[in-house]
Amino acid sequence: LGALFFAYYWDDNFDPGGLDYLVLNHIGGAPAGTRARSPQATRWLMQVNFLSYVQLTSRALPSLTDSKGSLVVVSSLLGRVPTSFSTPYSAAKFALDGFFGSLRRELDVQDVNVAITMCVLGLRDRASAAEAVR
């Protein structure tokens, strides 16, 4: 099976009216380890792996609210279980879990019918993960 890739850059005038589903599934990867990581690289990882999810959700939420739509957030087990050699990536994924867990509660309290589903992907196989940190 092939996968279709579609990207759209929302500008300030974009109206996502009629949006029923938003699937947030993107990643900014980084080499394993943190000793050589610059503050700029960490900032970039947070932008791609956390802040972009928040920005897209903020832009789409009014339309999803109108349509009683669904938001699907693809994350990582590294956002639930700390592990070695993944510090900035794990921090971004933990932030996703906190943000969307809190948003789900806020929407529930406000009686907003938007479903939020967190899809948590597991770790890579041990051999390739070990090779990545060498």
Residues marked active site are found at 89
Residue 98's contacts (CB-CB under 8 Å, 6 or more residues apart) are none
Q: What is the dihedral of CA 81, 130, 44, 99, to 10 degrees?
A: -10
Q: What Cα–Cα distance (Å) separates residue 19 from each residue in 4, 30, 50, 63?
A: 18, 32, 21, 6
Instruction: DSSP letter for 123, please.
Output: P
Which amino acid is located at 103 in the chain? L
Residue with tokens 């792996």: 49
Does residue 85 contact residue 34 with C-beta atoms inside 8 Å? yes
